[in-house]
């Protein structure tokens, strides 16, 4: 059995006290964004959502700081080491971070529930499946980045 649970949105985040990233009279262009210090994944993890977007923005240059997991990336942003693309469910929930604009429409991760057909009718498996579906429905706004935190700044232009 295969069932789509939802989609996780991603956005650009900076440390809550990061002065330069969110205090512009105008929305920064992609060129202006490319001048910030970026944190991203190491070469072995470039398949992670948002990394191709960052590499395109940086015109193939590697981010200044590279990590190998989401939690380290989140902590590095919160410590002020640079800005990064993070899943909205991580970034929006962290008071040490500030979202810089709306979620990036071109960066999402579809979430699927896969269950072997021989197991899907077992009561304990069905209970877990139903709970996961319910959880994803209840937290849809969080996953899709629709709950804009008060510390967010306006969306960036894509020009």
Q: Is residue 39 helix, strand or coil?
A: strand
Residue 128 lies in a domain: yes
Residue 149 lies in a domain: no
- Alpha carbon distance 78, 34 (integer Å): 19
Looking at the 3D structure of the chain, how many domains does it have?
1
Q: What would the mean pLDDT of 87-114 be, rounded to a whole number?
A: 93
Q: Assess whether pLDDT exceeds 90 at residue 152.
A: no
User: What is the domain range of residue 16?
Assistant: 2-143
| Model confidence pTM above 0.85 | no
Per-residue model confidence as pLDDT tens digits over 113-125: 999 999 989 999 9
CB 3 within 8 A of CB 133: yes
Residue 150 lies in a domain: no
Q: Residue 102 is part of a domain; what is its CATH number? A: 3.40.190.290
Q: Assess whether pLDDT exceeds 50 at residue 154.
A: no
Nearest in space to 18 (alpha carbons), one of 10, 30, 28, 8: 28
Q: Is the dihedral of CA 67, 59, 101, 136 positive or negative?
A: negative
Residue 64 lies in a domain: yes
The Cβ-side half-sphere exposure at 124, using a 13 Å CA radius, reads 0
């Amino acid at each position: 059995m295969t069932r789509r649970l939802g989609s996780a949105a991603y956005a650009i985040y900076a440390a809550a006290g990061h002065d330069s990233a969110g205090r512009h009279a105008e929305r920064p262009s992609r060129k202006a964004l490319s001048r910030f210090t970026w944190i991203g994944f190491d070469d072995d993890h470039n398949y992670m959502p948002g990394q191709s977007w960052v590499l395109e923005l940086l015109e193939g240059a590697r981010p200044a700081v590279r990590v190998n997991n989401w939690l380290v990336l989140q902590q590095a942003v919160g410590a002020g080491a640079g800005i990064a693309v993070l899943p909205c469910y991580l970034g929006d929930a962290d008071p040490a971070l500030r979202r810089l604009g709306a979620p990036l429409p071109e960066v999402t991760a579809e979430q699927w529930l896969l269950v072997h057909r021989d197991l899907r009718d077992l009561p304990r498996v069905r209970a877990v499946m139903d709970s996961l579906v319910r959880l994803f429905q209840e937290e849809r706004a969080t996953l899709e980045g629709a709950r804009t935190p008060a510390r967010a700044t306006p969306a960036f232009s894509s020009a």
